[in-house]
Structure 1
Amino acid sequence: MPVKKRAVKRRGSGSNVGLAVKNSKKQKLSLSRPEPPYTKTPGVVLTFGQGDVGQLGLGADTLERSRPAVVPCVDHVIDVCAGGMHTVCLTESGEVITFGCNDEGALGRDTSKEGSEMEPGKVILEGRVVQITAGDSHTAALLADGKVYAWGSFRDSSGTMGLSSKGTEKQPIEMLPGYVVVKIASGADHLVMLDENGQLYTCGCGEQGQLGRVTERGASRGSRQGMGEWASVLQLVL
Structure 2
Amino acid sequence: MRWFGFGFNAFGQIYVHVKSTEVESYDDEDVKVSSPTELATSRDCRLNTVEEVKASWSRRAFLQLDGDRCVYLAGFGAVPSSNESCGVPMKHTDGCTDVFISESCLTLGFSDRVEVWDLLKEEKTPSWSMEMKTQSETSGTRLNLPLVPGGYIAMKPPFYRPLSQHLKAKSLALSAEHAILLTASGVVYTWGAGSHGQLGHGGLTSEEDPRVVEALWGMPMNCVAAGGWHSVCISDGGDLYVWGWNETGQLGLPSRGLRKAQQQQQQAGAGASCQHAGTTPTDEPQEGEKNEDVFISIQAFPALLDVTPSCEVKTVSCGFRHTAAVTTKGELYTWGWGDYGQLGHQSLVSSDEPQCVEFFREKQLHVVDVVCGAWNTFAAVVKKDVETSS
Q: TM-score range by the shorter chain?
A: 0.5 to 0.7
Q: Is the 8 A contact 1:44 1:75 kept in 2?
A: no
Q: Is the 8 A contact 2:198 2:229 kept in 1?
A: yes
Q: Is the 8 A contact 1:175 1:233 kept in 2?
A: no
Partner of 2:12: none
In structure 2, do the counterparts of structure 1 residues 193 and 67 end up closer, same or farther at CA, with 3 Å as the change threshold?
A: closer
Q: Is the 8 A contact 1:45 1:74 kept in 2?
A: no
Q: Is the 8 A contact 2:247 2:297 kept in 1?
A: no
TM-score, L = length of structure 1: 0.63
Offset at 1:72? Answer: 4.3
Q: Which has the higher helix share?
A: 2
Partner of 2:120: none
Gaps of 5+ in 2: 1-47, 52-64, 66-138, 144-148, 255-295, 360-390
Partner of 2:355: 234
Counterpart residue identity of residue 196, structure 1 = T
- After TM superposition, the structure 1 = structure 2 runs for residues 50-69 of structure 1, keeping only pairs within 5 Å, are 66=158, 68-69=160-161
SS of equivalent to 1:66: coil
Note the alpha carbon deviations across 1:65-117, whole angstroms, 9 max, x for none. Answer: 536242347520011111120011110000111001111111111357x7x62
Q: Is the 8 A contact 1:88 1:99 kept in 2?
A: yes
Partner of 2:334: 202
Q: Residues of 2 paired with 1:92 and 1:236: CA distance?
A: 32
Partner of 1:120: 210
Match of 2:312 among 161, 165, 180: 180
In structure 2, do the counterparts of structure 1 residues 44 and 89 end up closer, same or farther at CA, with 3 Å as the change threshold?
A: farther
Q: Residues of 2 paired with 1:148 and 1:187: CA distance?
A: 16
Q: Is the 8 A contact 1:154 1:190 kept in 2?
A: no
Counterpart residue identity of residue 44, structure 1 = G
Match of 1:96 among 184, 188, 194: 188
Partner of 1:141: 233
In structure 2, do the counterparts of structure 1 residues 147 and 67 end up closer, same or farther at CA, with 3 Å as the change threshold?
A: closer
Q: Residues of 1 paired with 2:140 and 2:357: CA distance?
A: 31
Partner of 2:150: 44
Q: Matched residue pairs, number?
A: 176
Across the aligned residues of Structure 1 and Structure 2, the Cα RMSD in angstroms comes to 3.1
Q: Residues of 2 paired with 1:162 and 1:14: CA distance?
A: 28
Counterpart residue identity of residue 304, structure 2 = E
In structure 2, do the counterparts of structure 1 residues 208 and 146 end up closer, same or farther at CA, with 3 Å as the change threshold?
A: same
Note the alpha carbon deviations across 1:115-162, whole angstroms, 9 max, x for none. Answer: x62221111325211111111111110111111111111556xxxx67
Q: Is the 8 A contact 1:203 1:231 kept in 2?
A: yes
Partner of 2:386: none
Gaps of 5+ in 1: 1-11, 17-37, 51-64, 220-229
Q: Is the 8 A contact 1:182 1:195 kept in 2?
A: yes
Q: Percent identity?
A: 22
Q: Is the 8 A contact 1:185 1:192 kept in 2?
A: yes
Q: Is the 8 A contact 2:246 2:299 kept in 1?
A: no
SS of equivalent to 1:119: strand
Note the alpha carbon deviations across 1:190-237, whole angstroms, 9 max, x for none. Answer: 111111211111111111111112632x43xxxxxxxxxx21112221
Offset at 1:48? Answer: 4.9
Residue range with higher mean Cα deviation, 70-79 or 125-134: 70-79
Q: Residues of 1 paired with 2:227 and 2:140: CA distance?
A: 22
After TM superposition, where is structure 1 displaced by more than 3 Å over at least 4 residues in a row?
A: 12-16, 41-44, 46-50, 71-74
Partner of 1:55: none
